[in-house]
Structures are given as structure tokens and as C-alpha cells.
Amino acid sequence: MSLLELTETLIKNLVKEPDSVSVRQFDVEEDFITIEVLVNESDMGVVIGRNGMTASAIRTIVQASAYANGEKKVRINIDSF
């Protein structure tokens, strides 16, 4: 499973409106993979979690997968529309 698919699966299983989730990957920096996650504004609280704990856990899981597969470091940007 790619990092993009992993991130998308984790996010879609959290939100109430999984069809509105958009996940894109950018490789613009040499040392990092940037993954941009867009969710519905009403789902933003669930994805971020109390004190950012859920978002932090998502970042940790995706980074661990990248490390295990020998890939670059990962940055995940979460935003709403």
C-alpha cells in the first residue's frame, strides 16, 4: 500500500463524509514527500482530534510506513474546504 493510499484509508475511516475527502501527494522537495489532505469543514475536528492527537497519530503511522519501506520523510498538511 502506498503512503497516499494509507493516508486516504486512515482519513476516510474517521470522517462522516468519506466521499468528500481529497488526498494528493507532492514530491517538490528533495528530502520530503508532502501529502495534502482536504476534508469537509464539518469533519475537521474529528481528523485533528483533541489537542491534535488524532492528526499526530496519523502522521506517526504514515511516517513509520515510509521508514519501513525506505522512503523519504513525510509531511502531512490537513485543511478543510
3-80: CATH homologous superfamily?
Answer: K homology (KH) domain (3.30.300.20)
Domain ranges of the chain: 3-80
Kindly provide the residue ranges of all beta strands, DSSP E only, lying in 1-81, ordered along the sequence: 22-26, 32-39, 73-80
For 1-29, the pLDDT digits (tens) are: 999 999 999 999 999 999 999 999 998 88
pTM of the model: 0.92
